[in-house]
Amino acid sequence: MCGIVGYIGERNAVDTIINGLSHLEYKGYDSAGIAVPQGAGVTIIRAVGKLDNLKEALSGKEIAATMGIGHIRWQAHTEVNAHPNRSDHIVLVHDGIVENYKELKDKLLNAGYQFQSDTDTEVITHLIHSMYKGDLSKAVYDAVAKVKGAYAVLAISTKEPEKLVAARRSSPLIIGVEEGGYIATSDIPAALEITRDFISLDDGDLALITPKNITIYDNTGKSIQRSTIHIDWDEEMAERDGFDDFMIKEIHEQPRTIMDTLRGKIIPDEGRIFLGELQELDVANLERIIFLACGTSWHASLLGKQFIERYAHIPVEVDIASEFPYRDLQLNKNTLCICISQSGETTDTKVAMRSALDKGAQVLAICNVVGASLAKESTYAIYTHAGPEISIASTKAFTSQALTILLIALWLGERRKVTDNKQIAEIFKDLMIVPERINAILEQKEAVKAVADQYKDSKNFVYLGRNLTAPIALEGALKLKETSYIHAEGYPAGELRHGPIALLDKTFPAMFLAPGIKVQESIFSILQEAKAKGGRVVAVFSEKDRDNHPECDHALFVPDCEVEEMAVFLTVVVAQLFAYYCAKGLGRDIDKPRNLSKAVI
């Protein structure tokens, strides 16, 4: 996974691009590079390792350019494989995968091109060069038409100074617009210091950008207008705000992001919900819902199943996105597939969405990143409005996703006359207190840290929940393994007896998630069994059980809730903090865990 930034305008290009790349470091951190035209030539500087190494390579060099392109990359451990790469007068950065790389490379080798790197990107660079007949944008258009796979490219040519060409298919690319120039980048935070106005390119679009003008062509080569979206995020939202890591900052943002997700969608006292995005949906004839997602978004989907079955009485399945295309399913327009993705760019989820559309279903995308591919290609799209999530381990996006699905469940239930406004108003009454309850947990975070310190040296962990907390058990375990590298598994608590209990001992602890939910008593009995068998047990209970909970080694507490669904939002915050403090205690690079990337493209 990579991040790209291109700038053309009145600003210093090197400073603008390096600053932009620094906001994309979460995308990749094994190499970085920059190319800026200089007179009739081009200066290309690349460095292996973190962005700081590129900054060091640039230090002392006064480069007065006003356009250029830059790249930050995951999994490139040699300078030659870092971008930008070059074919004579053409210089290019690329994010994506060229699936027909071998076939194109063979043709280019036969045509006499020599390859310097092992990257699939170099194929595109030479291809553009081979098709160049005096018009850079035409050459890029013709070249990418031959590429199978995903690409977001930024290309420049020393023969055509003052032109930046940007093109995308299946990889993200947006263009920030300001009075004196343009910034093309893979993600919004890279451009926020310059602008909040963005053009989001559709799949197959190509943009020819000069310092004062932008022309966009669609995949048929026709010149087309794409609207400009205004993003409310401010720079601070994309920065760490004084916290040590983005993960802990984003955990702390949840009281606010929960309200941002709700904003404009509900009148709490009246129990009314507005989801204009779904106004065309034929709710009465909806027969089946299938959630499709990966990772944390898949865990939010597991909660979604419970919410929708409970409040809308519609049968729901949840599929791992990467498995869905292989199912033999007969779908029709009365099936709604809900694809959840923070980034909206995860390839497995996009492929699943396309498969669902091909099978005849309607698709609702729930994304956080505005203008994401998933949202654009689906039948309906709802944004979670959690703001930029930088930490690879997802936290605030999860709570916003879960909340969005709760709203959808209640909205569907109300339209199908399964749940009435009075019931919804009761739920909202409790929901409106969730932010302050999360704040209460955050104020007590030292208690979570103290317990995490006791467990951080464990090599293994099992998380257990039942009904509403079963998905939280999976999410808690994922957070722990992603950030601390402790092996952790999440299970519905009942499954403990069917295998995992054999593993429990003093060195293999169990985390029970047993806040005040209807099935709490039945988790208590499994907890007691785990303890009786010699397990080391930490548990999350509700305040009301502080003096009356089953015996365990360490207990953590969440505020009491009237509506049991609300306990989900509190319990997951404890699980997030627990994972964070284990990782912190172990000295992990929390925002950039090894081998992981924010979106798997």
Does 373 participate in binding ligand G6P (rule CB under 6 A)? no
CB of 598 to ligand G6P, least distance (A): 6
With contact defined as beta carbons under 8 Å apart, do 384 and 397 qualify?
Answer: yes
Answer for which of 19, 87, 200, 297 binds ligand G6P (CB under 6 A) is: 297
Does 175 participate in binding ligand G6P (rule CB under 6 A)? no
CB of 27 to ligand G6P, least distance (A): 11
- Say which of 2, 294, 337, 552 is annotated catalytic: 2
Does 296 participate in binding ligand G6P (rule CB under 6 A)? yes
With contact defined as beta carbons under 8 Å apart, do 538 and 575 qualify?
Answer: no
Is residue 2 part of the annotated active site? The answer reads yes
**Which range in 89-97, 187-195, 293-301, 406-414 contacts ligand G6P by CB under 6 A?**
293-301
222-249: string of b/e by CB count within 10 Å (b at 16+)? Answer: eeeebeeeebeeeeebbbbeeeebbbbb
CB of 367 to ligand G6P, least distance (A): 8
CB of 349 to ligand G6P, least distance (A): 5
475 Cβ contact list (under 8 Å, min separation 6): 296, 299, 398, 490, 572, 575
**Which range in 1-9, 165-173, 294-302, 439-447 contacts ligand G6P by CB under 6 A?**
294-302
CB nearer to ligand G6P: give 9 or 295: 295
Backbone phi, psi, residue 229, to 5°: -105, 140
Does 388 participate in binding ligand G6P (rule CB under 6 A)? no
157-184: string of b/e by CB count within 10 Å (b at 16+)? Answer: bbebeebbbbbbbbbbbbbbbeeebbbb
Site for ligand G6P in 401-440 (CB under 6 A): none
CB of 599 to ligand G6P, least distance (A): 5
Which candidate, 291, 310, 386, places its Cα nearest to that of 342? 386
Number of residues in contact with ligand G6P under rule CB under 6 A? 15
Answer for which of 20, 84, 295, 371 binds ligand G6P (CB under 6 A) is: 295
Three state DSSP letters for 157-198: ECCCCCCEEEEEEECCCEEEEECCEEEEECCHHHHCCCCCEE
**Which range in 36-44, 336-344, 487-495, 555-563 contacts ligand G6P by CB under 6 A?**
336-344
CB of 358 to ligand G6P, least distance (A): 20
- Residue 458: how many CB atoms within 10 A of its CB? 18
Site for ligand G6P in 344-363 (CB under 6 A): 346, 349
With contact defined as beta carbons under 8 Å apart, do 223 and 215 qualify?
Answer: yes
Locate 367 and state its tokens.
């994304």
Does 24 participate in binding ligand G6P (rule CB under 6 A)? no
Does 343 participate in binding ligand G6P (rule CB under 6 A)? yes
Backbone phi, psi, residue 336, to 5°: -110, 120
CB of 185 to ligand G6P, least distance (A): 17
Q: 217's torsion region: left (phi>0), alpha (psi -120 to 50) or beta? A: beta
Q: In what order do the strands lie in the sheet with 487-492?
A: 487-492, 460-465, 510-514, 537-542, 554-558
Site for ligand G6P in 542-601 (CB under 6 A): 596, 598-600
Answer for which of 139, 206, 294, 434 binds ligand G6P (CB under 6 A) is: 294
What is the rounded CA–CA span in Å between residue 422 and residue 401? Answer: 24
Is residue 598 part of the annotated active site? The answer reads yes
What is the rounded CA–CA span in Å between residue 272 and residue 255? Answer: 21
Distances from the Cα of 64 to the Cα of 10, 33, 183, 589, angstroms: 11, 17, 17, 35
Report the alpha-carbon angle 580-585-587, nearest 5. Answer: 95
CB nearer to ligand G6P: give 48 or 356: 356
Quote the DSSP letter at residue 319: E
CB nearer to ligand G6P: give 195 or 347: 347
Q: Omega into 161 within 30° of 0, i.e. cis?
A: no
CB of 394 to ligand G6P, least distance (A): 4
Does 47 participate in binding ligand G6P (rule CB under 6 A)? no
Does 320 participate in binding ligand G6P (rule CB under 6 A)? no
CB nearer to ligand G6P: give 527 or 579: 579
Q: What is the set of active-site residues?
A: 2, 598
Binding site for ligand G6P (CB under 6 A): 294-297, 341-343, 346, 349, 392, 394, 596, 598-600
